[in-house]
Structure 1
């Protein structure tokens, strides 16, 4: 399969890139800094802004699917996620690429309040609430398209976890998923692409 990974040099994107190549896929890796991704026979580096629609359109030509796993360090207000998604949707529609798997996270939509006490009461209000305001806009943009989309909402990232990964497409009252590794997230994203699972669904994934 020929994949485009938007955000390929980030914590999840870099792990997804390695997994995809190991499993025989070819990848075009979007990054703002080409030096952060090593090109190879199976990896083409596309250096450019994720909000640049003409750049994305050129990068998407001839591909089968897109994984959007953009990250950001800023704590302030942002429109990066929605601006990127808007440009990506237009590029996908122009090039005929139908499959989109996008990462938002715990705090988007009805996943808010389901990340465990520390995340819900401390991390979200103090550190991540602004980015999730934009991720709400991002999800709304994706849901309005005719693309074969999947929106993946990982629990808060942790270095290690234990037990079987839990996956919910409907969030039961009181459910708390408080941890997931970036490796687990990358593996789940690739499974969604390879198996065409969870189309037009928003799986919430992690460990209690």
Structure 2
């Protein structure tokens, strides 16, 4: 069993100043969780009131070990901008350092957000995404997401990979579908708020342990 057996999970959130990460922080605090956020820029985190802030680079294992002190789970919402020309390594480098740091600090539960287009979800994003957006803008980003997923799968941790469909900023109150059989699925979208709620829910149950569900609404 990997679910966090406590009324107040103590979590570290990576990517906390991104649009989805901010919602994970706010929802976690609203649930009474003890939240640490690893951030690069204190200025961007001025509104993350209630979270303990650790400033540093997510690729630095020493910083990660400091941020993991007293934690019992990690949520990674790390993202990277579209990169049509330059190679992308941030996600895999940071995730490799995170896995090493988690093992050193004896923290086993990891919920990691990647995205539709990673692994065997490639080709299920719908015509516009699969034929234009992915090959022109995101190919290098997703090559790194695939490396990131491989590191998580091989980590030996209690992991769940979460692949949201195309993200939007709606209220997020529509039901969430979590799929591992993608036959016949093409496209779909999901609210960032719903993604935040889904990943936080994973800390309480093992339904998707060692799996990579695609989530959509």
Bin the TM-score by the shorter chain. over 0.9
The alignment yields a C-alpha RMSD, in angstroms, of 1.5
The question of whether the paired residues in 2 share the 8 Å contact of 1:153 and 1:203 is answered with yes
**Residue matched to 2:141:** 131
Specify the SS of the correspondent of 1:205: strand
Q: Can you list the C-alpha shifts for 1:117-140, whole angstroms capped at 9, x where unaligned?
A: 111111111111110001111111
TM-score by structure 2 length? 0.90
1:60 to 56, 65, 68: 68
Q: Does 1:118 align with 2:109?
A: no
Q: Does 1:77 align with 2:65?
A: no
**Residue matched to 2:38:** 30
Give the gaps of 5 or more residues in structure 2.
1-8
Specify the SS of the correspondent of 2:209: coil
1:174 to 181, 184, 187: 184
Q: CA deviation at 1:169?
A: 2.3
Greater Cα shift, 141-150 or 189-198 = 189-198
Specify the SS of the correspondent of 1:197: coil
Q: Can you list the C-alpha shifts for 1:26-48, whole angstroms capped at 9, x where unaligned?
A: 110011101222454x4100111
How far, CA to CA, are the matches of 2:156 and 2:34 in structure 1? 25
How far, CA to CA, are the matches of 1:78 and 1:37 in structure 2? 24
The question of whether the paired residues in 1 share the 8 Å contact of 2:74 and 2:109 is answered with yes
The question of whether the paired residues in 2 share the 8 Å contact of 1:119 and 1:178 is answered with no
How far, CA to CA, are the matches of 2:175 and 2:82 in structure 1? 32
How far, CA to CA, are the matches of 1:89 and 1:163 in structure 2? 33
Residues 152-171 of structure 1: matches in 2 within 5 Å?
152-160=162-170, 163-171=174-182
TM-score by structure 1 length? 0.93
Greater Cα shift, 16-25 or 53-62 = 53-62
Specify the SS of the correspondent of 1:149: strand
Cα 1:23–1:162 change in 2 (3 A) is: closer
Cα 1:124–1:57 change in 2 (3 A) is: same
**Residue matched to 1:200:** 210
Give the gaps of 5 or more residues in structure 1.
none
**Stretches of 4+ moved more than 6 A in 1?**
none
Q: CA deviation at 1:162?
A: 8.1
Q: CA deviation at 1:176?
A: 1.5
**Residue matched to 1:13:** 21
Q: Can you list the C-alpha shifts for 1:148-205, whole angstroms capped at 9, x where unaligned?
A: 000000001123378532111232x221242111111111111112334311110101
